[in-house]
Each structure stands twice: as C-alpha cells, then as structure tokens.
Amino acid sequence: MAEIEISQINEVTKTALLAHGASEGVAQTMAHAVSWSEARGNRICGLYYLESYCQQLVTGRVKGDVTPNVSQPRSGTIEVDAEYGFAQPAFAAALDTVTAAARGNGIACLFIRHAHTCTALGWFTEALAKAGMIGMGYTNASPIVAPPGGKTRVIGTNPMSFAVPDGKGGVAMMFDQSTTSVALGRITMAKAAGDSIPEGWAVDADGNPTTDPEAALGGSLCSTGGYKGWGLGLMVEIMAAGLAGGTPSREVKPLKAPEGAPHDLAHCFVVIDPGVRPDFGAMVSGLAAAVAQDDGARVPGRSKVLLTKVNVPDALWEASCALTKR
C-alpha cells in the first residue's frame, strides 16, 4: 500500500482525464468528485473508477467536452441535458438555478438526463446542503438485484442520499447508501482479494444464499432489510428512471465496460428550502444533541473528519499514474 495525499489524487485524476480528452472544467470537477470520495474513505467511488472514466472518454461512451444544457420547464422543475457526459458537471451547471427555484417555491426538483453514472451520490446532496438546502438524491444502476424470493435481476443497487444544512454553510447530517446490503464494489473487491463474503449479502444464480463472491456476481445482491430495502430500491428506480426519465435498471449496461453506447442514466434530486420553517435549525441541533448523549454516537455525516492521506493499493496507484502519460 502507498500512502497518498488527497491533493495528489486530485492532481493525478485531473491530469489523467485531460490526457484522455476531458475539457479543463470537466476534468477539474471530476477530480474534485474522485478526491472527495477518497477523503471520506469511499474507495469504490474514488480512484477505483478512474481507469473506466479514461477508457470511456477514448471510446466516446462518455463525452468529456460537452456543455450541459439547463432548462426550467416549470418554476419548480429544473432539467439538465448532460449531453451524454458526466453527471457532476451537469449538476454544477444547474446548482444555482435549482437553489433559486427552491427558495422561490419552497421546493424544487432537479432532473439530470442523458448522463453517465454519478458514482458518489453524497457529492451532490452535500453541495445542496452547503447551499442551504435539504437535498434528497436518487439514481439507479445496472441490474444486480432480484426481488426477495426471486432470482431474476430487476433493479440496480439504486442508492439514495439525504443531506441537511446546518445554517452556517455546512452540513448537519448526510447519508449516502445503496438500497442493497452492500455495494457491488465490495463483492468485486472480495473476489479480487480471494476473500469470502458474509451471508446475507447475495444469492447465487438459483436464488440460494452464498458466501462465494464469484457465485454472488453470477447471482444477485440482497436488498438491505429484505422486503423493506426492496421497496426502497423500487422507490429509487421510479424516481430516477421514471420521474427523471432515465434508462430502467434492467436495460442499463455494465457501468465500467470500456465500449458501448452511452449509459443514458438520469439522476433525480428533490431540493427543499428549510427556511419555510423558522425553527428548523433549532430542531436539527436538538436532535443532534440528543444523539450525542451517548459516547461514540453521532448523526450520520456530522463532524466527519476528512482524510488528508489515504492508503492506495500499489497496483491501483501505479495504474492511475500511468493514465496521466497517455
């Protein structure tokens, strides 16, 4: 393992993306998103994705030099055509517009369409919270989850995120989680390491519980909490593929495959102005204080200490650096 500064990860990511055809602005935004994930210990959404980003820029599966098109068909509805580029620059292009709409209406929706995967959904909702808004985010992915009791993949890991402002330009609470017991990347990492996985994470192709990551990859992931998580996964599917107008999970091709048509995903964000309730900030502070009565307990995302250095597997760091020299 190599101990790498987050600032180095940011620079290597930006340089690699520029070398593979991304524009300056896109490379800068994506480098921030990758290093943001690494600083929070979210390896799956960090450097782990860089090689596929670069490969897909070269093949044209993701466009790295497009300008997102922001429109406002209704006072409380903001739509962004990502032009088959990355989701993060599309979101950045619409952030001011959607926060203004939420302040004017009390609530607004942001739909990002024709986009690549958003990887860490918390990157988006945190930005909304720092802008003073409550942010809820939904996105879907390639099919890897069968219904409880079934074996046919219908939806993806379908993450959701929720972030709350602290009234001071920071974040009072934020979570970002898949609606499965574990993210798909945890399974692939276990397979690469030759490790088994806990029972309850996945089922094999016949719908039987398994601790073998290879069998899990040939089967399905389990929804967190069984039917409860399955319902949440379906909710996310309806918000992202239905309301935002994206591709249904069952038709989404593997997210990291170098070649193929653009993924054409959509991402849905509900943005609420907490200013509609004058005592909102006091309520959230009181809730956090109640949680903090027990040592070691905290509200998700609150007072999180960000990493300035992270341990990166040697092979991953060498491969990442090599991408800068194309």
Q: What is the mean pLDDT of residues 20-38?
A: 98
Q: Is the dihedral of CA 304, 309, 311, 312 positive or negative?
A: positive
Q: What is the mean pLDDT of residues 21-31?
A: 98
| 36: its two tokens | 């943001």
Report the residue count for the chain. Answer: 326
Report the pLDDT value the prediction gives residue 109, as an integer from 0 to 100.
Answer: 98
Q: Say whether pLDDT at 118 is over 90.
A: yes
Sheet arrangement for strand 220-221: 209-210, 202-203, 220-221
Half-sphere exposure of 325 (CA within 13 A, CB side): 5
Give 180-206 pLDDT, tens digit per residue.
Answer: 998 888 898 899 889 999 999 999 999
What's the CA gap between 273 and 135, in Å, rounded? 9
Q: What is the mean pLDDT of residues 90-111?
A: 98
Q: What percent of the chain has pLDDT over 90?
A: 92
| 251: its two tokens | 């038709």
Closest of 119, 35, 39, 48 to residue 315, by C-alpha: 48
Across the chain, mean pLDDT equals 95
Report the pLDDT value the prediction gives residue 110, as an integer from 0 to 100.
Answer: 98
SS3 (DSSP) at 244: coil
Report the pLDDT value the prediction gives residue 124, as an integer from 0 to 100.
Answer: 98
Report the pLDDT value the prediction gives residue 2, as an integer from 0 to 100.
Answer: 87
What's the CA gap between 45 and 91, in Å, rounded? 17
Q: Say whether pLDDT at 326 is over 80.
A: no
Give the model's confidence band at 163: pLDDT under 50 very low, under 70 low, under 90 confident, else very high: very high
Report the pLDDT value the prediction gives residue 149, as an integer from 0 to 100.
Answer: 87
Residue listed under structure tokens 């406002």: 72
Report the pLDDT value the prediction gives residue 304, as an integer from 0 to 100.
Answer: 79
Q: Is the dihedral of CA 178, 180, 184, 185 positive or negative?
A: positive
The DSSP string of 105-139 is: HSEEEEEEEEE---S-THHHHHHHHHTT-EEEEEE
Report the pLDDT value the prediction gives residue 111, as an integer from 0 to 100.
Answer: 98
SS3 (DSSP) at 301: coil
Q: What is the mean pLDDT of residues 115-122?
A: 96
More confident residue, 221 or 184: 221
More confident residue, 303 or 237: 237
What's the CA gap between 162 and 182, in Å, rounded? 18
Give 256-310 pLDDT, tens digit per residue.
Answer: 999 999 999 999 999 999 999 999 999 999 999 999 999 889 899 887 789 999 9
